[in-house]
Structure 1
Amino acid sequence: MSDIYFEEGLENVFIDFIESLGYTYVPHQTIVRDSMKSPIASEVFEESLLRINPDLPEEVIEQTIYQVKNIDAGLLATRNETFFEYLQNGMEISHYTDGRLKTERVHLIDYKDIGKNSFIVTNQLTIKGKDTKRPDIILYVNGVPLVVIELKSMTSAMSDVSSAYRQIKNYQVDIEELFVYNAFNIISDFTTTKVGTITVNEAWYKEWKSIDGSYESTQYADYKTLLEGVLDKRRFLDIVKNFILFEHKDDGINKILAQYHQYFAVHKAVQSTKDAMAKGDGRGGVFWHTQGSGKSLSMVFYAAYLTKELKQPTFVVLTDRNDLDDQLYGQFSRAKEFLRQTPIQAQSRVHLHELLDNRTSNGIFFSTMQKFAESEEPLTDRNDVIVIADEAHRSQYGLREKISLDGQVQSGMARLVRKSLPNATYIGFTGTPISMNDKDTQEVFGQYIDVYDMSQSVEDGATKPIYYENRVVNLGLKEDILREIDRKYDELSEFANETDIEAS
């Protein structure tokens, strides 16, 4: 184990472990490429395409190879996004057969039959670009270099995980062609191992601390946990297809890789939703991930994954404030290419009814809770509607009914939503814990699906710790005045709806 104190020895330790995951080690000298400028293992690439797409004509395979090798237009992030569209969804290639133009879909990876794919690990491959470089380790899937690993010796004060990050960023300039095909990068000095994408800064290179969705032993996660966590063959391809997205903002393109807590929680949420639909009780569960841990992105990954699993369900995303509605709608809109559909904000209950009633599949619609107070008539009777409720613990989601002083029956918002979408399945996302006494929330959504609390988030660096000093201030309020305020508040609440009460 003394080898880990030297970079060459650390390379061997990593390669040995990656081989134990089922990858084949191939010396860099034997990898056949078109030139030293090209990072693609051309022979392996062609063989893989023929194996995965056995019924396609040779002409189509040749066009595919040419197109993948010549993604030339734009900046690195744009080129990488183009390639990822091919990688995640396949490529449409047109050709003439019997005098007619025909379009075929070519797949670069077989996501269903893992055994049909080639998994290769190599090291010290020389690549020419603006400069000549030799990355420590490269992982190939079907001849395409999807992962670059950069290692630094932990014995040098000047060589740590930060210097590995800087080396990766330099590579992205000097040998850009390698990163056109990149899924993610791994950096390590053995004591700390992190994973990140080509667009993120060092702060967003994160540790992967679980291989099974358990958070109990994440404080001391080592390099093996990350390597198995993201490079296990089945999970690796699942991450590539379903947990990497490109977000378009005014300042450019962000390539986002789900963090470990998002990956495992989304899988749990998808299964919980499918179970609830099979039982017919509509209670998909509560997804509690603390504020700052990427809850809104988890919703995006959840919606995209469930769309594939359930064959085009419809989603209604509920919030209790216009500003939250705008924020979530913005997040989903920035990921519309990944979702493969454009989200729509409902302008009124009538508009929401039109959106739901005029379709039998697909659709991601955003609405505030208040729109459901306008009527109790069903918006749709479909049973493949998924309601995603943000901040599911709030009192707006109550089931209780009460009678006001003027004799009117006032329904809790959850009851109104249930009447409007009687056959839907409900899943609640929240950043704060639900009270043990909150029976309404449990009645609507069910039990916790996954819990990623503040202490875990702070430990992972997703949330910054807050320190405060407790001080008691004696306001000197009189008891009779306080009782009068309470009495008046109770009186006014009889004429107010739950939204106004919560806001007060």
Structure 2
Amino acid sequence: MKLITEKRDVQNRVIDHLQAIGWEYIPPANIQEKREYDIKEPFILEILEKKLKELNKRIITDENAQNVIRRLRLIPSTLTGNQEFLEYLRGKKTVYVEKERRERNFKLINLENPENNHFAFTKEYWFEDREKRRMDIVFFINGIPICDFQLKSPTVWEAEEEAFEQVRIYSNALPELFKYLQFYAVSEGLRLFYGPTWKYESKTFYRWKIENGFNFEKLVKTFFDRREVTETLRSYIVFMTVDEELQKYILKQHQRRAIAKIIRRVLEEKKKKGLIWHTQGAYKSLTMIVSADELKKIPELENPTVIVVLDRLELEHQIYQNFQAYGFPNIVKAESKNHLRELLESDYKGLIITTIHKFERMPKQVNERDNIIVLVDEAHRSQEGDLGNYMRGALPNAYYFGFTGTPIDRTKIGRGTFIAFGYPPDEPYLDKYTIDESIEEGTTVPLYYTLAKIELHVDKETLEEEFFRVVEEEGIGSIEGINKVIEKAEKLKAVLKARDRIDKIAKHIAEHYKKFVEPLGFKAFIVAVDREACALYKEAIDKYLPEEYTKVVYTPDYKDNELLKKYHISDEEEKRIRKDFKSADKLPKILIVTEKLLTGYDAPVLYIMYLDKPLKDHTLLQAIARINRPYVGKSCGLVMDYIGIFDNLQRALAFYSKDVEAGLIDFEKLKERFKDLMESVDKILKEMDLEDESKRIQSIIDYFFEGEKRKEFIKTFKQIQEIYEILSPDEFLRDYIEKYKLLVQIYELIYQTYNPEAEKTKIRRDILKKTENLIKENVELLHIADNLPLYEINEDIARTIKADKISQRVKIANLYKSVKVHIENKRKESPYLVSIAKKVEEIISQLRERQRSVESALEELTRIAEDIAKAEEEQKKSGLNKEEFSYFWILRRHGVKNPEKISKDISNIIAKKEHWIFNENVERELRKELYKKLLDYSGDVVKLVNELLGIDRIIRGET
């Protein structure tokens, strides 16, 4: 039975699946020939030139085709250049047509009819730029590279992370290729992940999902479906400038699904509305923007009017900028009620951005066209008062699609939203992407809440009388409405803004931030009840933290008093603060806010919200969702409640509990979970003999010899570690700290013993910051790897192993690691050893699959170790250089006569054709010469030559 390998079990399957859905496979030799053996050439020129002329008759000719290709080559090898190339792919660029004496748009790809394109891919694709690199699979449309697909064996440790890191490295090494590639994919033969090139962040690294889970064939065929790929290039890759920084996104499946449903509904014309709930942090605004763009492209709609309706002036300006940054044509912002009415009456056919308030008192039937599509952001809030009725009366035949980032509540407003945008009970939502789905896919992280000291809370009677009751009676669902309630709540404000209370909270925040948050490298929001409270918090917290740690962000008013004016900032200063806050390495670390930045602001490094403002339902979920964005090392977000609103969760959130319970969890439950997990490892610890200190390490290695046991322990340890990071340095951990240190040691031993490659890099991606600090602070943890037994690889190793008084399984683990580390350390001076590593892996794999006994595996590994020692000693005495000895070692193993002389001849032959790796013609000539040199060999000469060339690849560092 053959072993599992990347080539056999992943790459070959991918090739078969791609061919089955219409992609042409071009073998490496052929692709090299088509590139004229130039590994700096990104295009398949003959295909590109042919398709250019075919898709652009009378526009692209023999005379100007080369000029177009030259322009493509001159695109900058940057993120901005990548954006420019996407514009080429989307047909937004022009070429001068001499006969017509004018500029004409031209196509690189036929986006409307994918079947008119040439789809091809190749494997083991070499490219040279800053470095020479070989990629597993590269995809081409019409001779243009568009996607890199990195593959790993399913047996590789953290395969998808390693492949993801490889793509990032390739992008840095090959910018002249990656300026064209628009997206990448990685797979280990079980799952498929993808993301946009040039933006290698956890928040843009997505898993492609299908029903029935792990069907690799279906994953490949759906993701690389030719129409899907064309749609991705046409619509689902987005460049936008956010806070003065160019961002690149690739839409996730829930976004694509919602857009497709909206288009289908409009084209079918049977129903005229739909409600889309995509949880906060799921890039709902981006879905709206692309939906609007797609609707404008549909010819059957005859140039429709698209109206984006918002509920806040601040968001109106923000989304207007987003549409501009997206490059949306014919956008106009309704400046007033009259302006909006004029636009509607004049039959404006572009995109209108407006707030819901500008529909107030709008006459009926202002425009009765049926190709008007209204996209309403935060749909539940549009149902406050009569504004929604005015909108529908003015546009009676329009399509209405409501978007919300929060689940619809059980109040009158919630019921109104379902009626206005859905078809309850059969279809409450047109599309739904829930909090638990978002967390499961890593789009967002769960949120935990905890209540600060009781004496800092507002008394329940005041909170009920001046806040909860008023909000519910008036049906308020917006932050502006909340602010109006708070304005009138004199007693509540007096309590919240008492200087003694603010000082105590400021001190508590400073201590908590320094102990729990700053060590993680994360940032914080302080949410105060109003603008004055923001200023008071700034004054107070500056006594406990460096002044530059905090900044206040609120809207200035010319009537403000001296305290409020003290913290006024200009628009430019606010832009700088917003941008710097997103960077973990820049100040400020804490923003003090009350309304601004509580919606629409995306800063993944934000981890904790210190909440001292009463909020409810949608406003509460929207605000705390600022901390649910994924970030490196961030497993959750945390809300510290100084008001006491989380004391009664059902009072604070009028949603069905199942809609929020996965994403909003009591912090105390985290402690319970930690306790349960720590108790769950007791059984494992008892099964290992850890009392005898002289045998503890051996016992741990022996116990985890079985892969399933390792896998289960690692899974549990990572869960424990995540919670430790959140809780540390809480005194709750005191009773568990020694056991946790032991678990860290066990994890380190497992990692070092069964993943020898870990020594290639000192950075272990899965050790989080506080655990890493714990390791550094404890000598017994820091030097655990030094205690791992390693055998010295020498000619006496068999005697050493036999005399070692440990179990055979531990001997195998130690010997496996010893051989792997030895080969890695010696690979430069003794390249032939790398081929031995493959045999070692084969033995270990056979052992895991129970195709070989422990005794047989130990015997074979011992023999290999002896062979290594003998070969190295012989190499020292041979007088041959490393290349010659490597060939000599292979030749002798195959029984070739006079191997020493032939090895020198072969070394000279290969040296004269050192570029054979990149040129198929040169490789063919080299093989002919080697076959000629080995005429007297009676064995399988092809296999022998393959091994010799494989060694040469190793010598050149290509494998």
Where on the TM-score scale, by shorter chain, does this alignment land: which range?
A: 0.7 to 0.9
**Aligned twin of 2:360:** 373
Residue aligning to 1:213: none
- With structure 2 as the length reference, what TM-score do the two structures score? 0.45
- Identify which of 245, 259, 264 aligns with 1:252: 245
RMSD between aligned alpha carbons?
Answer: 3.4
Looking at secondary structure, tell me which structure has more strand per residue: 1
SS at match of 1:242: helix
Structure 1 pair 160/245, CA: closer, same or farther in 2 (3 Å)? same
State the Cα distance separating 1:49 from its structure 2 match: 2.3
> Out of 328, 333, 338, which is 1:350 matched to?
338
- Displacement, 1:314? 1.8
Residue 131 of structure 2: aligned partner: 131
Which residue in the other structure is 2:406 paired with?
432
- Aligned-pair CA distance for 1:4: 4.5
Answering whether residue 296 of structure 2 is matched by residue 303 of structure 1, we say no
Are residues 187 and 484 of structure 1, via their aligned partners in 2, closer, same or farther at CA, if it must alter by over 3 Å?
Answer: closer
Equivalents in 2 of 1:332, 1:298: separation in Å?
12
Residue of structure 2 aligned with 1:71, choices 66, 69, 74 = 74
Is 1:46 paired with 2:34?
no
The alignment partner of 2:443 has SS state of: coil
Checking the alignment, whether the CA contact within 8 Å between 1:41 and 1:144 is kept in structure 2 is yes
How far the C-alpha of 1:499 sits from its partner, in A, is 8.0
Q: Take 1:315 and 1:114, find their aligned partners in 2: how far apart are those partners? A: 27
Q: How many angstroms does 1:439 deviate by?
A: 4.4
Shift of 1:470: 9.4
Q: Which residue of 2 aligns with 1:385?
A: 372
In the other structure, the counterpart of 1:92 is 94
- Which residue identity lines up with residue 423 of structure 1 in the other structure? N
Q: 1:92 & 1:82 partners in 2: Cα distance? A: 13
SS at match of 1:44: helix
Alpha-carbon distance, 1:176 to partner: 1.6
Question: Displacement of 1:136 after TM fit?
Answer: 0.8
Q: Does 1:397 align with 2:379?
A: no
Matched length: 466
Kindly provide the amino acid, as one letter, of the partner of residue 254 in structure 2: H
Query: CA deviation digits over 1:378-413, x for unaligned, max 9?
Result: 55344322211112123x416xxxxxxxxxxxx622
Q: 1:67 to 1:444 in 2, by over 3 A?
A: farther
Q: What is residue 160 of structure 2 aligned with on the other side?
A: 161
Structure with greater helix share of residues? 2
Equivalent of 2:61 in 58, 61, 68: 58
Q: Which amino acid aligns with 1:388?
A: L
1:441 equivalent to 2:428? Answer no
Q: Which residue of 1 aligns with 2:441?
A: 460
Question: Offset of 1:371 from its aligned partner?
Answer: 2.0
Question: Equivalent residue of 1:162, what SS?
Answer: helix
Task: Check if 1:290 corresponds to 2:290.
Answer: no
Change (3 A) 1:418 1:501: farther
Q: CA deviation at 1:139?
A: 0.9
Aligned to 1:12: 12
Asked if 1 retains the 8 angstrom alpha-carbon contact of 2:296 and 2:306, the reply is: no
Residues 50 and 61, structure 1, Cα contact 8 Å, conserved in 2: no
Whole-angstrom distance in 1 between the partners of 2:432 and 2:137 = 35
Provide closer, same or farther for how the CA distance between residues 19 and 2 of structure 1 changes in structure 2, counting only shifts above 3 A: farther
Alpha-carbon deviations, 1:337-376, whole Å to 9, x = none?
2x3x1533322111222333445422x2222222222544
Give the 3-state SS of the residue equivalent to 2:139 in structure 1: strand
Aligned to 2:708: none
Helix, strand or coil: the match of 2:98? strand
CA contact (8 A) 2:237 2:251 kept: yes
In 2: Cα distance, 1:323 partner to 1:246 partner: 22
Distance 1:301 1:228 in 2: 24
Which shows bigger deviation, 445-454 or 367-376?
Answer: 367-376
Question: Aligned AA for 2:245?
Answer: G
Three-state SS of the structure 2 residue aligned to 1:134 is strand
1:186 Cα deviation (Å)? 0.8
One-letter code of the match for 2:315? L
- Offset of residue 3 of structure 1: 5.9
What is the letter of the counterpart of residue 318 of structure 1?
Answer: V
Aligned residue number for residue 173 of structure 1: 172
Amino acid at match of 1:266: I
Contact 2:131–2:174 (CA under 8 A) maintained in structure 1? yes
| Structure 1 equivalent of residue 185 of structure 2 | 186
Structure 1 residue 134: Cα displacement:
1.1
Aligned-pair distance for 1:92?
A: 1.8
C-alpha separation in 1, matches of 2:62 and 2:353: 45
CA deviations over 1:118-167 (Å, ceiling 9, x no partner): 1112111221111111111011111111111112234343x622221222
Q: Match of 2:21? A: 21
1:112 alignment partner AA? E
Q: Supply the distance in 1 between the matched residues of 2:194 and 2:60 (Cα, whole angstroms).
A: 38
Contact 2:137 2:148 in 1 (8 A): yes
From the superposition, tell whether residues 89 and 66 of structure 1 become closer, same or farther in structure 2 (CA, over 3 Å): closer
Question: 2: distance between equivalents of 1:455 and 1:462?
Answer: 10
Larger mean Cα displacement after TM superposition, 249-258 or 236-245: 249-258
- Out of 316, 335, 343, the position equivalent to 2:307 is 316
Does the CA contact (< 8 Å) of 2:52 and 2:65 recur in 1?
Answer: no
Q: Which amino acid aligns with 1:306?
A: L
Cα displacement (A) at 1:104: 3.3
C-alpha distance in structure 1 between counterparts of 2:214 and 2:435, whole Å: 18
| Code of the aligned partner of 1:457 | S
CA contact (8 A) 2:89 2:107 kept: yes
Any unmatched runs of 5+ in structure 2? 424-428, 486-959
Q: Give the letter aligned to residue 169 of structure 2.
A: N
Aligned AA (2:370): N
Instruction: Write out aligned runs for 1:137-148 (5 A).
Output: 137-148=137-148
C-alpha distance 485-171 of structure 1, shift in aligned 2 (>3 A): closer
Q: Any idea what SS the aligned residue of 1:78 has?
A: helix
Counterpart AA for 1:285? G
Where 2:446 maps in the other structure, the secondary structure is coil
Does the CA-based 8 Å contact 2:375-2:400 persist in structure 1? yes
1:261-282 CA-to-partner distances (Å, cap 9, x unmatched) read 111111011112333xx35x7x
Partner of 1:331: 322
Given that residues 26 and 121 in structure 1 are in contact (C-alpha distance below 8 angstroms), is that contact kept between their aligned partners in structure 2?
Answer: yes
Q: Structure 1 residues 40-49 or 345-354, which shifts more?
A: 345-354
- Give the superposition deviation at 1:462: 0.5
Distance 2:281 2:250 in 1: 16
Identical-pair percentage: 29
CA distance in structure 2 between the partners assigned to 1:180 and 1:305 by the alignment: 25
Contact 1:199 1:254 in 2 (8 A): no
Relative to the length of structure 1, the TM-score reads 0.82
Alpha-carbon distance, 1:22 to partner: 1.5
Residue aligned with 1:125, SS:
strand
Once residues 156 and 493 of structure 1 are traced to their aligned partners in structure 2, the CA distance between those partners, rounded to angstroms, is 59
User: Which deviations, in whole Å up to 9, do the C-alpha atoms of 1:152-194 show, x marking residues without a partner?
Assistant: 234343x622221222122122222211221211122334421
- Secondary structure in 1 aligned to 2:396? coil
Instruction: Please tell me the residue identity of whatever aligns with 2:420.
Output: V
**Matched position secondary structure for 2:400:** strand
